[in-house]
């Protein structure tokens, strides 16, 4: 299959005629990758089971891992769900359009092929103008997982999508680099107490302020334990994984730097190619290793923004080992640490 690459001239004020082709592909059951404010998505008609199957095939994704249905206005939610709980309505009012996905009991029109066999459906209304306009022009809800091959870090630029999806999908819309850089927050509002299934840019602190009590799915806090199944099926896979063996080093700042330097010296002496994920604050403290700053510690949104690009870069550089500094779990830090922990397969070294 030949993959068309369409460059959007000015993503902030995208013209409808730039999206007509893409909208038609989606209506006709094809696959289009498009930017959102979180990461690039791989879109297809969410109501078409055959189109959903194509997404799983293109990504090499297990078909029990459900897809998020993307909408462009609140009124498009109603037909997809059996009911809209009060918490869901409140959260939509506060955070839609934006980087929040909510899980509702699904209606009859949403095929099990989209929900991975579940009786619930995840719905998100993105704020990115290209995403929003594309969904509106397609005239159908758009199922869209992140547009990476299964197991690779989520794509934050069209080039990342091209690396993974060229030849496997119909079209890629290039709207430049995304803003946030980590996937949306997922909250299950189908039960009595809203439950966080995946941390993202809508933080626990924000959710708490909006709805009061919020539970956190224990399965997202640590390594998958025996008998503990994450409620978001996708959270059980070793996602965001770089090809190298990665270790997250936790502890007080200067101790972390010293420990990483020791490990790098040892690995390099044994002929290994080593990558280090550091920050602008510490970048001049590592004499050895391939160094990439992930951003500015004091501005956590820069860390979220660069994280997946740095992991991909280390893949491209074919490093054998990665050591990463760690971050506080407050606010957006929770999402950053969640992705880092998963990338490291929960391999974590605590230093004093």
Residues that bind Mg ion (CB under 5 A): 146
Residue 41 lies near ligand TXA (rule: CB under 6 A): yes
Residue 36 lies near ligand TXA (rule: CB under 6 A): yes
Output 144 or 256, the one with its CB closest to Mg ion.
Answer: 144
Among 88, 141, 145, 175, binds ligand TXA (CB under 6 A): 145
Residue 181 lies near ligand TXA (rule: CB under 6 A): no
Least distance from C-beta 310 to Mg ion, angstroms?
17
Among 54, 133, 160, 231, binds ligand TXA (CB under 6 A): 231
Residue 115 lies near ligand TXA (rule: CB under 6 A): yes
Residue 66 lies near ligand TXA (rule: CB under 6 A): yes
Q: Residue 186 binds what, of ligand TXA, Mg ion, none (CB under 5 to 8 Å, by partner type)?
A: ligand TXA
Q: Residue 14 binds what, of ligand TXA, Mg ion, none (CB under 5 to 8 Å, by partner type)?
A: none
Q: Residue 124 binds what, of Mg ion, ligand TXA, none (CB under 5 to 8 Å, by partner type)?
A: ligand TXA
Output 122 or 138, the one with its CB closest to ligand TXA.
Answer: 122
Least distance from C-beta 154 to Mg ion, angstroms?
5
Tokens of 239: 């996602």
Output 191 or 251, the one with its CB closest to ligand TXA.
Answer: 191
Least distance from C-beta 244 to ligand TXA, angstroms?
22
For the chain, the three-class secondary structure string (H helix, E strand, C coil) is CCCEEEECCCHHHCCHHHHHHHHHHHHCCCCEEECCCCCCEEEEECCCHHHHHHHHHHHCCCCCCCCEEECCCHHHCHHHECCCCHHHHHHHHHHCCCCEEEEEEECCCCCHHHHCCCCEEEEECCCCHHHHHHHHHHCCCEECCECCCCCCCCCCCHHHHHHHHCCCCCEEEECCCCCCCCCCEEEECCCCCCEEEECCCCCHHHHHHHHCCCEECHHHCCCCCCCCCCCCHHHHCCCCCCCCEEEEEECCHHHHHHHHHHHHHHHHHCCCCEEEEECCCCHHHCCCCEEEECCCCCCHHHHHHHHHHHHHHHHHCCCCEEEEECCCCCCCHHHHHHHHHHHCCCCEEECC
Least distance from C-beta 22 to ligand TXA, angstroms?
15
Long-range contacts of 108-111, Cβ-Cβ distance < 8 Å, separation of 24 or more? 109/47, 109/79, 109/80, 110/46, 110/47, 110/69, 110/80, 111/47, 111/48, 111/49, 111/52
Among 22, 23, 33, 103, binds ligand TXA (CB under 6 A): 103
Among 22, 130, 144, 187, binds ligand TXA (CB under 6 A): 144
Residue 242 lies near ligand TXA (rule: CB under 6 A): no
Q: Residue 68 binds what, of Mg ion, ligand TXA, none (CB under 5 to 8 Å, by partner type)?
A: ligand TXA
Report which residue's Cβ sits closest to ligand TXA: 234
Q: Order the strands of the 274-278 sheet from edge to edge.
A: 290-293, 274-278, 321-325, 245-250, 348-350
Output 21 or 105, the one with its CB closest to ligand TXA.
Answer: 105
Least distance from C-beta 184 to ligand TXA, angstroms?
3
Q: How many residues bind ligand TXA (CB under 6 A)?
A: 28
φ, ψ for residue 9, nearest 5 deg: -60, -50
Least distance from C-beta 204 to Mg ion, angstroms?
20
Interacting residues toward ligand TXA by CB under 6 A: 36, 38-39, 41, 65-68, 101, 103, 115, 118, 120-122, 124, 144-146, 183-184, 186, 197, 231-235
């Amino acid at each position: 299959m030949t993959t068309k690459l369409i460059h959007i001239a000015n993503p902030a004020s995208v013209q409808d005629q730039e999206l007509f082709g893409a909208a038609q592909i989606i209506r006709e059951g094809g696959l289009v990758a498009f930017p959102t404010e979180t990461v690039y998505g791989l879109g297809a008609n969410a109501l078409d089971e055959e189109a959903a199957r194509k997404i799983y095939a293109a990504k090499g994704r297990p078909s029990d891992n459900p897809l998020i249905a993307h909408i462009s206005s609140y009124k498009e939610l109603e037909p997809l769900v059996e009911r809209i709980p009060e918490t869901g309505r409140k959260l939509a009012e506060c955070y839609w359009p934006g980087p929040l996905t909510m899980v509702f009991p699904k209606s009859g029109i949403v095929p099990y092929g989209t929900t991975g066999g579940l009786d619930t459906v995840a719905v998100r209304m993105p704020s990115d103008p290209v995403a929003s306009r594309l969904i509106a022009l397609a005239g159908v809800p758009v199922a869209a997982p992140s547009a990476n091959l299964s197991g690779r870090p989520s794509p934050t630029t069209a080039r990342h999508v091209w690396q993974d999806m060229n030849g496997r999908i119909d079209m890629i819309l290039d709207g430049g680099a995304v803003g946030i850089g980590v996937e949306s927050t997922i909250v299950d509002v189908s039960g009595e107490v809203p439950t966080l299934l995946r941390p993202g840019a809508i933080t626990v602190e924000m959710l708490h302020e909006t709805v009061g009590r919020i539970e956190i799915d224990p399965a997202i806090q640590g390594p998958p334990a025996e008998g503990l199944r994450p409620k978001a099926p996708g959270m059980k896979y070793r996602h965001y994984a770089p090809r190298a063996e990665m270790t997250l080093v936790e502890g007080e700042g200067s101790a972390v730097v010293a420990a990483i330097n020791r490990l790098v010296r040892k690995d390099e002496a044994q002929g290994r190619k080593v990558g280090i994920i550091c920050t602008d604050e510490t970048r001049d403290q590592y004499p050895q290793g391939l160094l990439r700053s992930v951003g500015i510690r004091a501005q956590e949104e820069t860390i979220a923004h660069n994280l997946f690009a740095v992991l991909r870069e280390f893949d491209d550089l074919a490093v054998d080992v990665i050591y990463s500094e760690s971050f506080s779990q407050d606010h957006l830090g929770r999402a950053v640490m969640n992705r880092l922990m998963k990338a490291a397969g929960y391999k974590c070294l605590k230093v004093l």
